[in-house]
A = this chain, B = another copy of it.
Amino acid sequence: MKILWVFAHPERRSLNGSLMEAGLAELAERGHDVRVSDLYAMGWKPVVDAADFPGAGAGAGTGTDACSAEGDRLVVGEAQERGYRERRLSPDVLAEQEKIDWADAIVLHFPLWWFGPPAILKGWLDRVLVQGFAFGLKDDQGRTRRYGDGGLVGKRALIVTSVGAREASFGPRGIHGHVDEVLFPLLHGTFWYTGAAALPPFVVYGADRADAKAAADAAARLRARLAELPTQRPIAYRYENSADYDGELVLRPDLEPGRTGLGVHRVDDSAAPAPAPAAAEAGAPGAAE
């Protein structure tokens, strides 16, 4: 399998640094091909701005808020889509898109800061996953390819993260919110949105207090999870282009009747999510059901 590992931590001599080393060793031992984007080491630029669109400035944009050039006015979504189409995005962005195209699976590895990815990683998503590449594509029937389909269809995606808190406080009724729902913007809104199969996140709890023993345990758990990377059952989110949603993209009333909340967008959310490796085929979106 070809795996892109995106690492967003400022210090390699850290718990997360050692976790990545263990993870990369496991993947190598299993014969996978791995490429690493170590965003801090690369000096990754996180901010979307006009410099992302070299040579832009003469195009005619019509959108109101999304960066293209209307004169010199930046309309982000349009500038990104045109830049992608015309191969005029900045070289650092094009290089990351090429890595994603190459990969069968993507690992996003970061410490959880303010319940989301550090800015450097958020900026990787903002700049790399542009319209026309990751989303905004149409299928044969003219339907938007999104949520279960899109530019990243056929790929698997895994979050590896660390938090200071204990596991119970990130559980289904824990004060921080259930970790699967706190990570919904990434799992559902980014991975699944672009067609990638979202695997259950790998979380290290109590990271602030981890001693050598805890770090070794976490590394062993990560190795075990990565062993299942090609086969683990993804989170069973619902497909947009299915009978589950109506024309307004609202869940049909007969499904999860009376319920609201992020959990309604998973099939069989109340059932125990037992791993069923046999049901999963390497990254095919159908494997999510």
Which residues of A are in contact with B by a Cβ distance under 8 Å? 9-11, 13-16, 40, 46-50, 63-67, 73-77, 111, 113-120, 122-123, 125-126, 129, 147, 162, 164-166, 168-169, 171-178, 181-182, 184-186, 188-190, 207-211, 215, 238, 240, 245, 248-251, 256, 259-265
Residue in B49, B169, B256 whose CB lies within 8 Å of A249: B169
Across the interface, do B119 and A119 meet the contact criterion of CB distance under 8 Å? yes
Across the interface, do A126 and B118 meet the contact criterion of CB distance under 8 Å? yes
With A14-B75, A74-B11: A119-B116 Cβ-Cβ less than 8 Å: no
Across the interface, do A48 and B118 meet the contact criterion of CB distance under 8 Å? yes
Q: How distant is the Cα of A211 from the Cα of B65 in the complex, in angstroms?
A: 11
Nearest CB in chain B: distance from A119 CB, A: 3
Q: What's the number of copies of this chain in the assembled complex? A: 2
Across the interface, do A73 and B13 meet the contact criterion of CB distance under 8 Å? yes
Across the interface, do B119 and A65 meet the contact criterion of CB distance under 8 Å? no
Residue in B10, B174, B190 whose CB lies within 8 Å of A114: B190
Q: How distant is the Cα of A182 from the Cα of B250 in the complex, in angstroms?
A: 15
Across the interface, do B114 and A125 meet the contact criterion of CB distance under 8 Å? yes
Nearest CB in chain B: distance from A184 CB, A: 6
Across the interface, do A262 and B262 meet the contact criterion of CB distance under 8 Å? yes
- Chain B residues lying within 8 Å of A173, measured Cβ to Cβ, are 250-251, 256, 259-260, 264
With A46-B123, A119-B120, A122-B118: A63-B248 Cβ-Cβ less than 8 Å: no
